[in-house]
Structure 1
Amino acid sequence: MPVAMITGAGAGVGRATAVEFARAGYDVALLSRDADRLEQAAQAVRSFGVRALAMPADVADAAAVDDAAQRTVRELGSLDVWVNVAMATVFAPVEKLSPEEIERGTRVTYLGQVHGMMAALRHMRSVNRGVIVNVGSSLAYRSIPLQSVYCGAKAAVRAFTDSLRSELYHDGLSIRLTLVDLPAVNTPQFDWARNRMGKKARPVAPVFQPEVAARAILFAAEHDRREVWVGFSTVKTILANSLIPGLLDRYLAKAGYSGQLSEEPSAADAPGNLFEPVAGDYGAHGRFGQEAQSASLQLITERHRAAFLGLAGILATLGAASLLRRR
């Protein structure tokens, strides 16, 4: 039975991903900071008849991540897929950030993925097989205001991933590295991320359920894709930034604040999970279930790319034949 390691598995996309891999028949190693929440996720994994190994750890601690990888191989027998999901952020303009907040968010969201890649590779190189899935974001391509820490870290993940992929090709290794870029997702991060704005944060619409992200991550692990873009909003964001970045700068200066803030006030003493986990019964979902989409048409076309390309080719051929007949 294949084994997958999921970081950030205690809640949000990580938890949904752990369940998705269990449903697909993987034994699952789970890594996150909050031990109680992680054990709840492990119980959900075990309900599918597979093994679960819960390991409380902070991905910012490289030694702890490496220990988790070694324990996974020792207790579950292998390490076939490693998925880097863990993240932490702050909702605030740069002028209100402290150096400590920037460093911590970068250590978790960027270096946490680096630590995961390095730990996975120490095992995967020895057996010359395995898949590493890094979870990116459309915001790695198009940064937005109030999320400089997150956007900067995700852009760094993308750059590091590209460098490492070339090195794997150079070394002739049968280890695959892929990046899944996500849209806005309905997770608890908008309730527990550190917030300096005085209003509760919200994802920029359209919003997707975490299961959409989880299915994309599993697909990326099992299919040969360099990158997987999830949602038409991700596609539009990435393409628009390549064409009109200056115009987007000015548009986001006007719309980027209101699009990320609700009208609900945020308590000055609201807990934030940047340095310590926030206690509570958080699962995969946040508070935006009523507007969150449970499927992505774009992802369906990505999963069945060959069929859609074939259909497009047939339609193009029929169209060309029709034009020729008219002549």
Structure 2
Amino acid sequence: MPTIAIVGAGSGLGLSIAKVFGRNGFSVALVARTQEKLDGLAAELREAGTEAAGFTADVTDRPSLVAAFTRIKERFGQVDVLEYSPAPKTSTGAMIAPLDATVENLQPELEYYLYGGLTAAQQVLPEMIERDAGTLLFTTGGSSLDVFAGPPEFGNIAVATSALRAYALKLNQVLTGTGVYVAHVPIFAWIGSGGPETQADTIAELYWDVYTKREGAEHPYDIR
């Protein structure tokens, strides 16, 4: 049975992606900071017939993320799909406009998005390359693709998620023609804020479509 590891799993998009892949025969490894929350999500998936378990880690604490993947492999074996989608946040507690940006207040966002995504990928990518099979999906907000999509105060997030986007696209470039597929999914929507098109269950269907078709490096979900 193939396994998807969802880093940044929560009750919104992460759970919805887990449900879609679970319905299609995947086991699910959920990674987030709170074990109690993970236990609840995993129980909901198991009730629906999906093998699932939660593994605690903080994406800004790289050793904890490495340790989580060690436990995932002990439980499920190889990871066939990695989906990285930490919930949008500002680690500094405030949005940072470009004129207010400093090395110090940008660093937490780089840790959260770029370094966390890189660390997660490093835990599965070598094995995927060795067996010439696997998928990596990186999720960000729309400002990673269109920096004008959000207000100036999104500056710190736009910088960090743009860096993660660049990493994902360059991975796609070097792995094109192999059995390992990498894609970036920028989301231009406030998830759960409006009609059906903003709901996590609707957006999650895109991930299965991207996974199965394996075409192109970038797949925006844009409802503007």
TM-score, structure 1 length as denominator?
0.60
Distance 2:213 2:203 in 1: 15
C-alpha displacement of 1:230: 1.5
Answering whether residue 130 of structure 2 is matched by residue 139 of structure 1, we say: no
Distance 2:156 2:11 in 1: 20
Aligned to 1:281: none
Distance 1:69 1:39 in 2: 17
Pair 73,206 (structure 1): closer, same or farther in 2 beyond 3 Å: closer
3-state DSSP of counterpart to 1:25:
coil
User: Structure 1 stretches (4+) deviating beyond 4 angstroms?
Assistant: 95-101, 203-207
Distance 1:70 1:219 in 2: 29
Q: Which amino acid aligns with 1:129?
A: A
Pair 37,62 (structure 1): closer, same or farther in 2 beyond 3 Å: same
Aligned to 2:221: 230
Answering whether residue 106 of structure 2 is matched by residue 92 of structure 1, we say: no
3-state DSSP of counterpart to 1:185:
coil
Aligned to 2:160: 153
Q: Which amino acid aligns with 2:24?
A: A
Aligned to 1:34: 34
Unaligned runs of 5+ in 1: 188-202, 234-327
C-alpha displacement of 1:167: 2.1
Distance 1:112 1:157 in 2: 9
Distance 2:19 2:60 in 1: 24
TM-score, structure 2 length as denominator?
0.85
Figure out how many residues of one structure are paired with residues of the other and give that number: 216
Describe the superposition over 1:25-58 as per-residue Cα deviations: whole angstroms up to 9, x where unpaired.
2100000011111111111111122211210101
Q: Report matched runs for 1:43-122 at 5 Å.
A: 43-90=43-90, 91-94=94-97, 100-122=104-126
Aligned to 2:202: 212
Describe the superposition over 1:271-291 as per-residue Cα deviations: whole angstroms up to 9, x where unpaired.
xxxxxxxxxxxxxxxxxxxxx
Unaligned runs of 5+ in 2: none
Aligned to 1:288: none
C-alpha displacement of 1:9: 0.7
Distance 1:69 1:213 in 2: 26
CA RMSD in angstroms comes to: 2.5
Q: Which amino acid aligns with 1:119?
A: Q
Distance 2:172 2:101 in 1: 33
